[in-house]
Amino acid sequence: MDAHAAILTTALTKHFGRVRALQDLNLEVSRGEVFGYLGPNGAGKTTTIRLLLDFLRPTAGMSEMLGGSGADPAVRARVGYLPAELRVDPRYTATDLLAFYGRLRGGHDRAWVAELLDRFGLDPGRRVGELSTGNRRKVGIVAAVAHRPELLILDEPTSGLDPLLQHEFQLLVRELVGEGATVLLSSHVLPEVEVLADRVAILRQGRLVTVATVDELRLQARQRIDLYVARRPASSDFAEVPGVVEAQVVPPRPGAADAGTLLRLVVEGSAAAAISAAAPLEVLRVVTHEADLEEVFLRYYQRDSSAADQPVAASEGRVRP
Can you tell me the distance from the alpha carbon of 314 to that of 318, in angstroms, rounded to the nearest whole number? Answer: 11
> In the prediction, which pLDDT does 309 show?
43
- Burial zone of 81 (CB within 10 Å; 0-12 exposed, 13-18 middle, 19+ buried): buried
Other CB atoms within a 10 A radius of the CB of residue 293 amount to 18
Q: What pLDDT, on a 0 to 100 scale, did the predictor assign at position 258?
A: 63
Q: 53: phi > 0 → left, psi -120 to 50 → alpha, else beta; which?
A: alpha
β-sheet bridge partners, residue 98:
none
Contact 78, 149 (CB under 8 A): yes
Query: 183: burial class by Cβ within 10 Å (0-12, 13-18, 19+)?
Result: buried
Is beta strand 182-186 parallel, antiparallel or unpaired with respect to 151-155? parallel
- What is the C-alpha end-to-end distance of the chain, expressed in Å? 16
Task: For the chain of 321 residues, list the mean pLDDT of each consecutive stretch of 10.
Answer: 81 95 96 94 93 96 95 93 89 91 85 94 92 91 94 92 91 96 89 89 92 83 87 88 91 67 87 91 87 74 52 38 38
Which amino acid belongs to residue 313? Answer: A
Q: Are 20 and 309 in contact (CB under 8 A)?
A: no
What pLDDT is recorded for position 54? Answer: 96
Q: 140 φ, ψ to 5°?
A: -65, -40
| DSSP 8-state symbol, 56 | S
3-state secondary structure of 169: helix
> Measuring CA to CA, which residue among 7, 8, 11 is closest to residue 208?
11
Q: Which helix (H) or strand (E) holds 48?
A: helix 45-52
**CA–CA separation, 226 vs 247, rounded Å?**
10
288: β partners: 225
DSSP codes of every residue in 99-162: HHHHHHHT---HHHHHHHHHHTT--TTSBGGGS-HHHHHHHHHHHHHTT--SEEEEESTTTT--
Q: Kindly list the structural domains of the chain, giving each domain's residue range(s) and its CATH number in brackets, ordered by start.
A: 5-78+149-217+297-308 (3.40.50.300), 222-290 (3.30.70)
Task: Phi first, then psi: give them for residue 262, nearest 5 degrees.
Answer: -90, 120
